[in-house]
């Protein structure tokens, strides 16, 4: 077990951490989630059957950990929204957190893509990160997301269309974007 874990850590820790930073946009939170992933890896080591590669298994766990985090955050936001009467002021809680230094790349065009990625759905963001940032194949992405390859292709197509629309709206000076 120890050598298996050490090998996983050595081979994939950097990519795993980067994936989670792209997903949650917070270095400290990504570090916490990486620890959660490794805890799940240790707990589920015995159930790893080898039907997928170690990398796709690890990233699948990471994706589920990130989604669980988003669900918890949504529940917390909903509780806060229920506690306060926001209807009078029409206010909503918004997350205006800036990108971590590791993600904020120097070129403006890349920064625009990252900002536009925040506007995409979690599924679209997952596909874009896995396919284009992590450089995984459609098959590997499908295994990680536990989807068919055609669903990965469809989601990728919709994500690219959404990014194009979002970035086009930004070029025109903002405004409401169309739903893709």
Instruction: Report the chain's mean pLDDT, rounded to a whole number.
Output: 80
Confidence of residue 79 (pLDDT cuts 50, 70, 90): low
Mean pLDDT of the region 16-35: 93
Chain centroid, CA 78 distance in Å:
21
Q: Say whether pLDDT at 171 is over 80.
A: no
Q: Of the given ranges (11-15, 84-88, 161-165), which has the lowest mean pLDDT?
A: 84-88
Q: pLDDT tens digits for 30-55?
A: 999 999 999 999 888 888 877 888 88
- The better pLDDT of the pair 121, 84 is held by 121
pTM of the model: 0.62
Q: Region 66-73: what's the mean pLDDT?
A: 88
Q: How confident is the model at residue 93 (pLDDT cuts 50, 70, 90)?
A: very low
Asked if the model's pLDDT at residue 90 lies above 60, the reply is no
Give me the percent of the chain exceeding a pLDDT of 70.
76
Q: At residue 135, does pLDDT exceed 50?
A: yes
């Amino acid at each position: 077990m120890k050598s298996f874990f050490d090998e996983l850590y050595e081979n994939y820790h950097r990519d795993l951490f980067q994936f989670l930073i792209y997903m949650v946009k917070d270095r400290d939170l990504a570090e916490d989630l990486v620890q959660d992933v490794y805890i799940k890896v240790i707990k589920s080591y015995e159930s790893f059957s080898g039907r997928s590669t170690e990398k796709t298994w690890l990233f699948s766990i990471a994706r589920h950990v990130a989604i669980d985090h988003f669900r918890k955050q949504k529940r917390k936001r909903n509780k806060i929204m229920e506690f306060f009467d926001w209807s009078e002021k029409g206010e909503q809680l918004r997350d205006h957190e800036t990108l971590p230094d590791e993600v904020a790349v120097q070129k403006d065009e890349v920064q625009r893509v990252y900002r536009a990625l925040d506007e995409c759905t979690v599924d679209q963001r997952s596909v874009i990160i896995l396919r284009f940032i992590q450089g995984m194949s459609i098959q590997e992405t499908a295994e990680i997301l536990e989807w068919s390859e055609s669903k990965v292709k469809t989601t990728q197509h919709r994500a690219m269309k959404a990014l194009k629309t979002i970035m086009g709206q930004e070029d025109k000076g903002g405004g409401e974007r169309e739903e893709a």
